[in-house]
Structure 1
Amino acid sequence: MINTNNNKKAVSLDVEYKHPTKEDGAAMWELVTQSTLDTNSSYKYILMSEYFDETCVVAKQNNKVVGFITAFIPPKKQDTIFIWQVGVDASQRGKGIASQMLHFLMQSDACENIKYVEATITPTNRASQSLFERLAREYNTNIHSSSFFTKELFPGPDHEEELKFVVGPIVK
């Protein structure tokens, strides 16, 4: 269960959900380097925490980042939030932290007019697919997936295609 407080902070058990500050960026990057997520530069996480803080979330336990979401509202789709990355520390997986972060984000002021949630997910990433399928069920709405970024777009042979998942329309 999540308890919101002026859309600025939420607490669930011993995990606190809030929008990040630029000081959280390095910890977000560290979490990524210990996972299977695509590693972006540390600068990306600091930048997202500074300029897109209202569309990003960190989950903290004992003041340590144990999860995060980086997201933004595309300029050409003001009713959509694009979820760039969802990361949860390996020791915290299976506790619902990713779902709680998504709900915190959707309840925030920045998402007041959001009707659709988009994300790209590789075909083999069933955990992420399940996260967004669950979001669709919880909002009693649709989810669609389609080919989006084909394998040929990526340099080198190691990147799978990215499917685009769209959840919505969302009625709050």
Structure 2
Amino acid sequence: MDYDTSILTIDTNTDQSNILFREPKDTDGSAVFELINRCKPLDVNSMYCNLLQCSHFAQTSIAAERSGEIIGFISGYRLPQQPDTLFVWQVAVDASARGMGLASRMLTTLLQRLGGDIRHLHTSITASNEASWNTFRRLAETLNAPLNSSMMFDRERHFGGAHDSESLVHIGPFNITSQE
């Protein structure tokens, strides 16, 4: 199947100029840990994991800050065997910032920052997480790219019945250029 992979320029300008999008810093780890704790049903990792996301994976992650407070965070990394693929691990948005399209804005800003090196995006979503499904469907539409899903981790086989199954969501191929 052929897909339109024409170059897309994403405009991340917004009238909500009081929100700063930036690379996370190692000093953001505890704030990210607290944010994720408040964002049920996200899986809570150790604070050490969040420190690594904010330091080792800062280039492929993004923080949204308002008045000095982290109100949004996306952790991601490039797949080692597919460096043109960004895996989005978690998307967290504080309750005070929901309904503003913040998750979508963080995703498009992150992809724009990474530029043309990224041509595919992967993430995993449980069947019941409609907010995430909607966010990534909108992203696929914005990128004019196909969205496909398949089983990634099965509830019984991978999680021993302790966690819902996770679908692998693949968006791509697409092209991104930075907005100058």
Query: 1:103-124 CA deviation, whole Å, 9 max, x = no partner?
Result: 111011x443111000000000
Root-mean-square deviation over aligned CA pairs: 1.6
Mind listing any 5+ residue stretches in structure 2 that lack a counterpart? 1-10
Q: TM-score if structure 2 supplies the norm length?
A: 0.87
1:141 is the counterpart of 2:151: no
What residue identity is the alignment partner of 2:126? T
Q: 2:53 matched to which residue of 1?
A: 48
State the TM-score, normalizing by the size of structure 1. Answer: 0.91
Q: Please tell me whether residue 166 in structure 1 is matched to residue 170 in structure 2.
A: yes
Amino acid at match of 1:164: L
Name segments (4+ residues, structure 1) moved above 6 Å. Answer: none
Q: Is the 8 A contact 2:76 2:88 kept in 1?
A: yes
The aligned residue for residue 7 of structure 1 is: none
Aligned pair partner of 2:12 in 2, 12, 20: 2
The 8 Å contact of residues 141 and 169 in structure 1, kept in 2 or not, is answered as yes
Query: Is contact 1:28–1:65 with CA below 8 Å preserved after alignment?
Result: yes
Q: Deviations 1:52-77 (Å, cap 9, x if unpaired)?
A: 10100000000100000000001101
In structure 1, C-alpha distance between the alignment counterparts of 2:46 and 2:16, rounded to whole Å: 30
State the 1:171 CA deviation: 1.8
Between 1 and 2, higher relative CO (CA 8 Å, sep ≥ 6) is seen in 2
Q: Distance in 2 between matches of 1:161 and 1:11?
A: 38
- Cα distance, 1:158 vs structure 2: 3.7
Residue 93 in 1 paired to residue 103 in 2?
A: no
Report the count of equivalent residues: 164
Unpaired segments ≥5 residues, structure 1 = 4-9
Q: Which one of the candidate residues 62, 65, 68 is aligned to 1:57?
A: 62
